[in-house]
Structure 1
Amino acid sequence: MRRCAAARSPIWRRSRRIFLPVGLVGSAAGAWVLGQASVMIDPEMLIGMVLITLFGPFASAGYIGLIARWAEAPPSATKTFLARGGTATLTAYLTQSLIFSLIFNAYGLGLFGSLGVAACTAIAFLVALVSIGFASLWRSRFERGPMEVLLRRWTYLGTR
């Protein structure tokens, strides 16, 4: 298996060792401040959002560093599963949008504003697994995801 030299670049090690901890601590501090706000329009709410916005890119760079490290590992069933799902991201994204709208909007379960952070995080994790799982299973049988096929047909409409 050919390995990518860019995945071993020093920037990714720096991202994992420095940017990830800085981003996580800063984002956690922002989330804590945000959680202290008593109403939606509150200076604490604004400060928390600013902290999360400022430190989010550091955490993202750290996550990318982790992904680069993971990419160097030998192939596995998990990698194959995620890679297939990753080639149908439009399908996964629209599946997530549909599921979330059915869970949180009034025409579905109407749970918006009635669940805590832990429940919403668990739901988000499960919806991500379901959508990526659906896209991955689809891609195991077909060349492209269903939404990717529709987008491709629409894009090339009239040029064939």
Structure 2
Amino acid sequence: MTQTTAPAAGGPTSVGARALGPDLARGLLLLFIALANTHGFLHPDGVSTIRNTPIASTLPDQVVSFAETTLVDGRSYTLFAALFGYGMVQVYRRQEINGRSWKHARALLRRRGRWLIVLGVLHAVLLYYGDILAAYGILAVLLVPAVRSSSKRLLVWAGVWAVVGAALYGALSAPVSPEGMATLYPWASEHNPLVAMLTRAVAILVSAPALALTAAGAFLIGIWAARIRLFEQPEQHLVLLRRMVLIGIPVSVLGGVPLALYTSGILHGGATDVVPAAVLHSLTGVAGGPAYAALISLWALRAKRGRVVTALQATGQRSLTCYVSQSVVWAIAFFPYLLDLGPRMALWQTVPLAVGTWALTVLMADWMRRAGHRGPLEVLLRRLTYRAGGR
């Protein structure tokens, strides 16, 4: 049976006390994040885009676009949101076990969320325009009372927010002309680093609240899952986990097909065609992300703790550091004043780049594990969250 033990004094959980399933999910999730993020940097001349991704025309690009739209895009961030919500309940539970009041726990969770917003804005300004940390920080600050809500209330509101988020997701998914790309994403072609940073600073003020809205449904599902320890104690929820996998993944894949037909260039259409497909894509993605987590939790029950599993777990334990480390690679590869591969790289070529980058972070995380080091950004966030007076 997989369990966690509470740390002393209400502080963060020690590495040895963490459950395998959620960490494995975070480690594998980072591969999805890498695949989803790389194609957003491409901007070949004369090519329209859907959700900042060039519409595919060659067969290799069409295959990759179709697969990523149905399996990765709109699914990786919902998985991340669910795991983030799950982690918030774990933090709250540790405070409760150690006799801390709700007022104290609420303040701690909101402080953690505020610092995530700060880190996310810095991440966006310095490295990656599509940061997700600030969005999840917003959810932590605004929805912290949800960690004490009933399961029924959580699932009802998850459904409500999923619909609201899907409507916004669809509205932001209309095809964009090559000329429109230059207006919406000016940093993609800006050769002045300071101007590029300024444009990303402005962009994150809009994108973070929007992404928070589209992720809120999955975030609440993650809180619900943590309330019943779904991914920590999978052996006690086998029927539910199997149903989530058998229903959630097919629904997610099939729901992504209509949008994939447009992103892959198989069908061509305007906003009136693409937006409804994107709404469906988003709604079914809320089912897909948690279903992936359920599948990984079932695998964790049978997984042997060999070198691969141990390395993936180490990556999940250092997911914040590994996530930001990916952005360093994207900056080198795609910033116009560095390698500037955005106008020249084919969509299919982003796959080996993403997989290779993720593999490097896995090796880095495993090296830190063997050396006895936590992730530096995890250490920073813990110090900011559990500062003197916050324990």
Alignment TM class, shorter chain as reference: 0.7 to 0.9
> Structure 1: how far apart are the matches of 2:257 and 2:343?
21
Q: Which residue does 1:25 correspond to in 2?
A: 254
1:14-56 Cα distance to aligned partner (Å, 9 max, x none): 11111111111212332223333769x7444434432321221
Are the structure 2 counterparts of residues 17 and 155 from structure 1 closer, same or farther at C-alpha, using a change threshold of 3 Å? Answer: closer
- The answer as to whether partners of 2:262 and 2:274 remain within 8 angstroms in 1 is yes
2:320 is paired with a residue whose SS is: helix
Report the residue type matching 1:23 in the other structure.
S
Q: Tell me the percent identity.
A: 27
Give the unaligned 5+ runs of structure 1: none
Which of 324, 328, 337 is the aligned partner of 1:98? 328
How far apart are the structure 2 equivalents of 1:66 and 1:122? 24
The alignment status of 1:16 with 2:248, answered yes or no, reads no
Q: 1:135 to 1:44 in 2, by over 3 A?
A: farther
Partner of residue 69, structure 1 = 298
After TM superposition, give the deviation of residue 75 of structure 1 in Å: 2.2
Q: Secondary structure at the match of 1:72?
A: helix
Secondary structure in 1 matching 2:342: coil
CA distance in 2, matches of 1:32, 1:122: 23
Q: Secondary structure at the match of 1:144?
A: coil
What's the TM-score once normalised by structure 1's chain length? 0.80
Cα drift, residue 85 of structure 1:
1.3
1:57 is matched by which residue type in structure 2? V
Quote the RMSD (CA, aligned, Å).
2.7
Matched, 1:54 2:309: no
- Report the counterpart of residue 358 of structure 2 in structure 1: 128
Quote how far apart the aligned CAs of 1:157 are.
6.3
Displacement after TM superposition at 1:153 (Å): 4.6
Contact 2:314 2:365 in 1 (8 A): yes
Normalised by the length of structure 2, the TM-score is 0.36
Residue aligning to 1:140: 370
Task: Report how far residue 158 of structure 1 moved.
Answer: 6.5
Contact 1:34/1:48 (CA < 8 Å) preserved in 2? no
Ranges in structure 2 where 5+ consecutive residues have no aligned partner? 4-231
Partner residue in 1 for 2:317: 87
Instruction: Determine the C-alpha separation between the residues in 2 that align with 1:23 and 1:48.
Output: 13
- Structure 1 residues 59-90: Cα deviation after superposition (integer angstroms, max 9, x where no partner): 21221121111110132222111111111112
One-letter amino acid of the counterpart of residue 369, structure 2: R
Count of equivalent residues: 157
1:118 is matched with which residue: 348, 355, 361? 348
Distance 1:47 1:126, change over 3 A: farther
Kindly provide the CA deviation profile for residues 84-136 of structure 1, in whole angstroms up to 9, marking residues without a partner as x: 11111121011011111211221222122433332223322222221232122
- In structure 2, the CA distance between the partners of 1:110 and 1:47, relative to structure 1 (3 Å rule), is farther
